[in-house]
């Protein structure tokens, strides 16, 4: 009679975790469709806050900036990260192991510390604050994610495929384009989605590095909350969460964390 207890406990535990994770989000999403500005029940369906949000030039501007920076981060981090992964895979050089190990801490270091450090560093080298600083910061944060996903895919790549292609007369570029890249494409797509999400969801580093005038969406939301909470925030947050979760879902499916074929 004691055996079913543990699985039962385990399931209850899991359910509890999911409740605490998703209940606030669901409440927020529900409230974004509630007509009352003071979260009053009974629930009365309305898209008023979405309409308000769409009319708010600050929100629109911040959204466009966020998407722009996220797209730029995605492109740059994916290109650099893919190139770095291929280089790490193909060449042996002194310090390679050290470099590979150094790629992981940025994922674990608190963003607060990374953000402070970047701010100090960017001022020291004269970049200062502003959109270029934000972009550099985001690329730096996103790069390890790309390298990890692409490298995971590369680790199952058979280099004799490249040799076979070269023996057949293909130059280095053709080999890369026709043989290597098609194989690692799922890893690249997953890495790109991670890079987009890391940038789009980024608050701390953006908060440190953005000029007061050109906030990204998370920064705008934070400042808006400090001034006074409006249900518009629920609306935009719901949109962000939907987009981010969609992207993460795609990314984990593409990378399948460990890589079947």
Partner 1 sequence: MSSVEVRNITKSFGRARALDDVSITFEDGGFFALLGPSGSGKTTLLRTIAGFSFPDTGTIRIGARNVEAVPVEKRDIGMMFQSYALFPNMSVADNVGFGLRVRRVGAAEERRRVAEALDLVQLGDKGGRMPHQLSGGQRQRVALARAIVTQPKVLLLDEPLSALDKTLRVDMQIELKRIQREVGITTIFVTHDQEEALTLSDRIGILRDGRIVQAGTPREVYDHPNSAFAATFLGEANWLPDAALEGLQLPGDRTRHRFAVRPEALTLTDGRPATGNALSARLEQRVFAGAMATCLVRVDGEPWKLVARDRDLPEMAPGSEVWVSWTPEDTLAVPREAAT
Return the structure tokens found at 78. 């994916």
Question: If binding is defined by CB under 8 A, does position 179 make contact with partner 1?
Answer: yes
Q: For residues 132-158, b (16+ Cβ closer than 10 Å) or e, as one string?
A: ebbbbbbbbbbbbbbbbbbbbbbeebe
Single out the residue of 21, 182, 242, 257 in contact with partner 1 (rule: CB under 8 A). Answer: 182
We find the least distance from the C-beta atom of residue 140 to partner 1, in angstroms, to be: 32
Output 169 or 213, the one with its CB closest to partner 1: 169
Question: If binding is defined by CB under 8 A, does position 163 make contact with partner 1?
Answer: yes
Question: If binding is defined by CB under 8 A, does position 93 make contact with partner 1?
Answer: no
> Cβ distance 177 to 144 under 8 Å?
no
Single out the residue of 165, 195, 221, 235 in contact with partner 1 (rule: CB under 8 A). Answer: 165
Stretch that binds partner 1, among 114-122, 136-144, 169-177, 207-215 (CB under 8 A): 169-177
Single out the residue of 178, 225, 245, 253 in contact with partner 1 (rule: CB under 8 A). Answer: 178
Which DSSP string corresponds to 35-86? S-TT-PSSP-B--HHHHHHHH-HHHHHHHHHHHHHHHHHHHHHHHHHHHHHH
Return the structure tokens found at 41. 């029940």
Residues that bind partner 1 (CB under 8 A): 158, 160-161, 163-171, 174, 178-179, 182-183
């Amino acid at each position: 009679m004691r055996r079913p207890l543990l699985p039962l406990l385990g399931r209850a535990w899991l359910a509890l975790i999911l409740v605490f994770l998703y209940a606030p989000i669901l409440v927020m999403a529900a409230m974004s469709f509630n007509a009352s500005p003071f979260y009053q029940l009974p629930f009365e369906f309305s898209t008023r806050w979405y309409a308000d949000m769409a009319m708010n030039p600050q929100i629109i501007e911040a959204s466009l900036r966020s998407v722009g920076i996220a797209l730029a981060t995605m492109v740059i981090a994916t290109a650099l990260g893919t190139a770095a992964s291929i280089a790490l895979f193909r060449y042996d050089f002194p310090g390679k192991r050290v470099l590979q190990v150094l790629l992981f801490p940025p994922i674990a270091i608190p963003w607060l510390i990374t953000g402070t450090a970047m701010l100090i560093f960017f001022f020291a080298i004269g970049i200062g604050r502003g959109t270029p600083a934000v972009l550099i910061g985001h690329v730096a944060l996103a790069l390890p994610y790309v390298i990890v996903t692409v490298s995971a895919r590369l680790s199952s790549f058979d280099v004799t495929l490249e040799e076979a292609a070269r023996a057949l007369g293909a130059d280095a570029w053709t080999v890369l384009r026709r043989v290597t890249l098609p194989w690692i494409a799922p890893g690249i797509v997953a890495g790109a989605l991670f890079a987009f999400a890391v940038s789009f969801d980024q608050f701390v580093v953006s908060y440190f590095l953005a000029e007061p005038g050109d906030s990204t969406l998370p920064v705008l939301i934070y400042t808006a909350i400090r001034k006074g909470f409006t249900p518009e925030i629920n609306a935009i947050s719901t949109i962000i969460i939907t987009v981010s979760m969609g992207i993460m879902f795609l990314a984990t499916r593409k990378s399948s964390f460990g890589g079947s074929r």
